[in-house]
Amino acid sequence: MLKLGGSVITIKNRAFTPNREAITRLAGEISDSKASPLIIVHGGGSYGHPLAAKYRIAEGFRENRQLIGFSKTHNAMQSLNILVVEALIEHGLPAISIAPSSCIVTKRGRIERFDAEVLSRSLKLGFVPVLYGDAVFDCETGFSILSGDQLASALAIMFNAEKVIMGVDVDGLYTADPKIDFSAELIERISLSELEKLTNKIGGSRATDVTGGMVGKIFEMASSVASDIDVVIVNALKPGNIYKALRGEKVRGTRIVKG
């Protein structure tokens, strides 16, 4: 399971701007790694978040003007997804987009129904399914936002993944915020119980990310780790990292372990 963060494949703070260079390079690394079977989930970054936030999609249905916002959010995510899938196809991978909003229904934002038949069939035939964080229908609130992180963790558990590789725009988890604290050190390995303590500490640094920043990521990944799936956070903006992580080679980053 490879999760590509929205901040990796889009340009932060520039609405609807894909990071084409990163997308092309990553497609090459994924293809070169020959990792198989493989499921890819990507985030929304500057494609999905601004629209989702503007129309308050994550809060559920409140007024009719949100409908067009839901439409715009999904359409933006579909556009971004096409760029990712196209790049993978150009690198020879039979990537196939699976639209979360077409097959998943949430309940108060958590996955409630997911017919995994299409995903199973695609893997069995040798495809590389590509999913993404999306605006989805919700059986209680009308609609909601399903984060790529929640989706990646749920699929990893459902398909008993060997490992989850989280490609983000930083090197991993730090003891403090490395942008403001020079003494901050990269945590190379952390257990679930240590994570819990850290989560409380960094809870305040939550970014303007409708699906939750690092805190949300860690929260979602904890369930994969609890299900005995290795989770490793690496910087996907640094060339070669995703290739190495997919090959199982040593790479700078944070490994989350159960015990």
- How would you classify residue 92: left for phi > 0, otherwise alpha for psi between -120 and 50, otherwise beta? left
Q: Which stretch binds a second copy (CB under 8 A): 5-13, 23-31, 138-146, 189-197?
A: 138-146
**From the CB of 60, what's the least distance to a second copy, in Å?**
11
Q: Which two tokens stand for residue 58?
A: 């994550």
Q: Which positions from 83 through 112 interact with a second copy, judged by CB under 8 A?
A: 85-86, 89, 92-99, 101-103, 105
Size of site (CB under 8 A) for a second copy: 41
Which parts of 6-64 fold into alpha helices (H)? 6-9, 20-33, 45-54
Radius of gyration of the CA atoms of the chain, in A: 17
240, 167 contact by CB (below 8 A): no
Could you say whether residue 24 binds a second copy (CB under 8 A)? no
- In whole angstroms, give the CA distance from residue 41 to residue 59: 23
- Per-residue burial over 68-88, b = 16 or more CB atoms within 10 Å of its CB, e = otherwise: ebbebbbebbeebbebbbebb
Question: Residue 60 or 178: which CB sits closer to a second copy?
Answer: 60
Q: Which two tokens stand for residue 130?
A: 């590509």
Question: Residue 92 or 203: which CB sits closer to a second copy?
Answer: 92
**From the CB of 117, what's the least distance to a second copy, in Å?**
6
In the list 7, 122, 150, 235, the residue contacting a second copy (rule: CB under 8 A) is 122
**From the CB of 91, what's the least distance to a second copy, in Å?**
11
Question: Residue 118 or 192: which CB sits closer to a second copy?
Answer: 118
Side chain identity, residue 142:
G
Question: Residue 97 or 199: which CB sits closer to a second copy?
Answer: 97
Question: Residue 70 or 174: which CB sits closer to a second copy?
Answer: 70
- In whole angstroms, give the CA distance from residue 10 to residue 80: 9
**Across the beta sheet with 110-114, what order do the strands follow?**
110-114, 104-107, 134-138, 142-146
Binding mask 48-87 for a second copy (x = CB under 8 A): -------------x--x--xx-xxx-xx--xx-xx--xx-
Q: Which helix (H) or strand (E) holds 87?
A: helix 65-90
Summarize as ranges the residues that interact with a second copy (CB under 8 A). Answer: 61, 64, 67-68, 70-72, 74-75, 78-79, 81-82, 85-86, 89, 92-99, 101-103, 105, 113, 115, 117-118, 121-122, 125-127, 137, 139, 142-143
